[in-house]
Amino acid sequence: MLSKFKASLAQGDSIIVEGPARVKVLKGIVEVFACPVGEGLELTVPLGKQAPVASVEGSELEVYSCSPPEHTKSNPIPESWRSLAEELAAQQKATCMVVGAPDSGKSSLTLFLSNTLAREGKTVGIVDSDIGQSDIGPPGVIGAAVLRAPAPSYSSISLLDGCFIGDKAPAGHLLQVVVGTYRMLDKCRQAGATHVIVNTSGMVYGGAARALKEAKIELIAPTHLAALEAQGELSHILKPIPKSVECIRLKVSEYARETGRSERIFLRESSMRKFLKDARRTTLNMDEVTLKQTILGTGRQLTEEDLSELRAQTRLSIQYAEESADYVLAVTDSGRAHERTMGGKPVKVVPRSAFSSLYIGLIGESTLLGVGILEHLDLARRTLAAKAALFKQGSISSVALGYLYLTEDGRELGRRKPGDF
């Protein structure tokens, strides 16, 4: 339950508001991540997030939160962040990639830089490639947005386009994440952005993380790279960076807080629920759409004679099967997903239930139209039934199968492994 607190701030004073919270400006003007918020306006801070509210002039605030906001006489935005924003604003065009470990303040820095540049009259693109904790667009989606005026929070920023990955981490999807990030950068440029801020995931340790960051830098070719560090923990990521990229090492803010695993799940599920709340049931003809991120639909459907032979060889109740040059996919009535080899070729055996409750992306001609949940796949009738939440108008030409299993209200039930089917 939220309690009401009054805060009186002199010019230059600040408070740190922990979510869940609501802040109303009763008098004066404050700044939130460089976005001015005036008298009578409100700001919402979700659970797991925090917002620095700095007084531009004497201000009176009403704060509804679980605990009293923390007061500080200093500006919670580090001076090094301001210097970077000035450096970017001085460029005619710039691309800044933000890297850091989990809970280092990447989203906060991204929003602050974007707002500061927008206040300078720049058209700013934001690419959010942190698919596990998406700030722009649904979870599991690399989101793009264009900012022409400052925004106090990500909730007030509209999605321009997205690239559907459908999972909560980049592992297993490195190529798709790199290509998707580049595509969204290009979308921002096409929409007129002169400056683009690219936020990245907290995946910074291990071989896959090194490969991911190196490939992103190679393809995106940022002019600047902002590295948020506590104690030099990104050295292994930064040393291979080309000399053409201006690398700025920034200290993690003293106000950065750790987000627990349960909070991360809550934030992801809350975001999923928001995007799925207006979902409607729809049926698609599988012969009229392309299936992506699956081997289903890429092979030759087996005849009844071939199916009978495959049933005899596997001793399984196979209802549908198709063969391509590299795999045989066999869909059964029940059982568990597994792989076996026949005649030197891998046979992927998948129960029909494996396609139910799967998170999906609904794609038009080179744009993401929406997301949804796959309810039923009727391979005999060649139809796909889903709950679809469309945030753009258009004709669905492709359906991308994700990797998360969800309830109707967006709660996570589990995940399938990349390459399963």
Distance, in Å, from the CA atom of 33 to the CA atom of 14, rounded to the nearest integer, reads 12
User: Is the pLDDT score of 258 beyond 90?
Assistant: no
Pairing of strands 246-251, 224-229: parallel
Domain range annotation of the chain = 3-72, 79-259, 260-421
Query: pLDDT (tens digit, 9 = 90+) per residue, 308-322?
Result: 998 988 889 999 999
Burial class (CB in 10 A: 0-12, 13-18, 19+), 260: exposed
Report yes or no: 126 and 142 within 8 Å, Cβ to Cβ.
no
Predicted confidence band of residue 414 (pLDDT cuts 50, 70, 90): very high
Mean pLDDT of the chain: 94
Burial class (CB in 10 A: 0-12, 13-18, 19+), 376: middle
Predicted confidence band of residue 47 (pLDDT cuts 50, 70, 90): confident
pLDDT at 48: 80
Q: CA distances (Å), 212 to each of 36, 170, 350, 393, 402, in order?
A: 36, 8, 30, 33, 20
Fold matches, 3-72 and 79-259 = no
Mean pLDDT to the nearest integer, 96-109: 96
Q: CA distances (Å), 408 to each of 276, 302, 356, 388, in order?
A: 8, 33, 11, 11
Q: How far apart are the first and last CA of the chain?
A: 45
Burial class (CB in 10 A: 0-12, 13-18, 19+), 263: middle
Please report how the helices 174-190 and 207-220 are oriented relative to each other, as an axis angle in degrees rounded to 10: 30
pLDDT at 192: 98
**Composition of the chain by helix, strand, coil, percent to 5:** 25, 35, 40
User: Is the pLDDT score of 257 beyond 80?
Assistant: no
User: Is the pLDDT score of 293 beyond 90?
Assistant: yes
Distance, in Å, from the CA atom of 329 to the CA atom of 345, rounded to the nearest integer, reads 11
Cβ neighbours of 305 (radius 10 Å): 8
Distance, in Å, from the CA atom of 416 to the CA atom of 421, rounded to the nearest integer, reads 9
Distance, in Å, from the CA atom of 17 to the CA atom of 24, rounded to the nearest integer, reads 12
Cβ neighbours of residue 185 closer than 8 Å, sequence gap 6 or more: 95, 125, 127, 144, 196, 198, 220
Report yes or no: 344 and 350 within 8 Å, Cβ to Cβ.
no
Q: What is the pTM of this model?
A: 0.94
pLDDT at 326: 94
CATH code given to domain 3-72: 2.60.120.1030
Percent of the chain whose pLDDT exceeds 90: 84
pLDDT at 263: 83
User: Is the pLDDT score of 250 beyond 80?
Assistant: yes
Q: How many CA atoms lie within 13 A of 16 on its CB side?
A: 17
Tell me yes or no: is domain 79-259 CATH 3.30.420.40: no
Which two three-digit tokens encode residue 148?
A: 């022409």
Mean pLDDT to the nearest integer, 231-240: 94
Beta strands in 56-202 (DSSP E): 59-65, 70-72, 94-100, 124-128, 141-147, 161-164, 195-199
Query: pLDDT (tens digit, 9 = 90+) per residue, 348-400?
Result: 999 999 999 999 999 999 899 999 999 999 999 999 999 999 999 999 999 99
The residues that bridge with 311 in the sheet, in sequence order, are none
Burial class (CB in 10 A: 0-12, 13-18, 19+), 8: middle
User: Is the pLDDT score of 336 beyond 90?
Assistant: no
Give buried/exposed letters for 16-29 (b at 16+ CB in 10 A, else e): bbbbebbbbbeebb
SS3 at position 364: coil
Q: Is the Cα torsion angle 274, 279, 284, 288 positive or negative in sign?
A: negative
Give residue 286's Cα distance to chain centre. 27
Distance, in Å, from the CA atom of 57 to the CA atom of 30, rounded to the nearest integer, reads 7
Query: pLDDT (tens digit, 9 = 90+) per residue, 187-224?
Result: 999 999 999 999 999 999 999 999 999 999 999 999 99
Burial class (CB in 10 A: 0-12, 13-18, 19+), 9: buried
pLDDT at 243: 92
Cis peptide upstream of residue 78 (ω within 30 degrees of 0):
no
Instruction: Write out the H or E segment, with its range, that includes residue 404.
Output: strand 398-406
Q: How are strands ordered across the β-sheet holding 50-55? A: 35-37, 30-32, 50-55, 14-18, 70-72
User: Is the pLDDT score of 342 beyond 90?
Assistant: no
